[in-house]
Chain A
């Protein structure tokens, strides 16, 4: 989030668009196939596994809390664009997403949009509905009103913590559901996703398309990083030995975890390993009983038996834990 993208309203608008896309993506993560920004139809296009689309128009106002001068114009324009897109694509949802807490500049409806909120047309306050109706009347081919939603994502100021607080909350909720128990993961992920989007944005083709796995796999990498050994696992080693091994042999460990010849062997061994214990306990039991079968792999590099044992066990643990986490995240996100 260190990028300097606040220079003007255009950059601010794009930043909002990206973050709104992330929110929409996470809200629909199980059904999402891919995410597209600046696509053929709309600012944000989320393609679902069932072939349908969630289309969104993102309208950001820099001083959202006190500047409502353009919000109606924005709303009208968004409805017009969404209407057009509705007839050209298989949209299941048409969303006007904005950071304005008063998207209709209307006292009668503004209390409905305090904080993060999402309202279908039928749930809009009367006065707001009337305004929408008015905008639709002007259109030759108005959108299907049942698909229309107004979504508010608070997004304001130049302070990262304040600007991204709602998006952060959304990411953290998602990470929390995955139950991966990794502190600070939300922030890391948002930073990686931002980078992927902004890096894409620099290319000539204005369309930015991200597959689901582009977004989900970084989670797995972060969750299984070396510093995420469980306390229970660490307790089995002398602190000094563990530090030495992790410091001196981190590359050996990582390479072996990544090399398929080796991890396939471990996964296969684990699969045929019979035990009455639960999944995590099964991992520990397997490592304790079978580590000797895999330690030969390190004989050419490491002479010290104690170090060799520690490295073998750490690699086995990481491979199996990675598999376990991958399975869980894949289930959680339907990847």
Chain B
């Protein structure tokens, strides 16, 4: 059983230092690599009401943990100026955004369109599923293999994914390991 959260729940979370207990920034947005199946980093805002964007970014390698109430970093030096950050964090490629992409099985069935990313609570930015909008308008959750075939329009998932579509995050948390077992990934 895994505890999960969506990427939209991460936006606005404080960035807190493990070594100091200080809130040094807050999450503006997450940067995701569909090919890698994980966050590559996060962009930041200043902390506080009506405060603006922070120039520094938080590369995924610098994340201590992504929790339900805070993104933890070991200390303030983990926030880096864009020129010192990996290129995919400093200059994210907007055309690789998976939001809105159609999820197609290898057999050619559409499961729905991606509306959000699902992450492991307490992890370092591993994306284990997507929230999808189904053809009937309802929301669902699908687990992901670690690697995906993905273009700007659609992503292709194994046929077995259809059996693992869940109605809520709790269901997905229970299904992720079974799903990866079935794919022989664990």
A and B co-occur in one complex: no
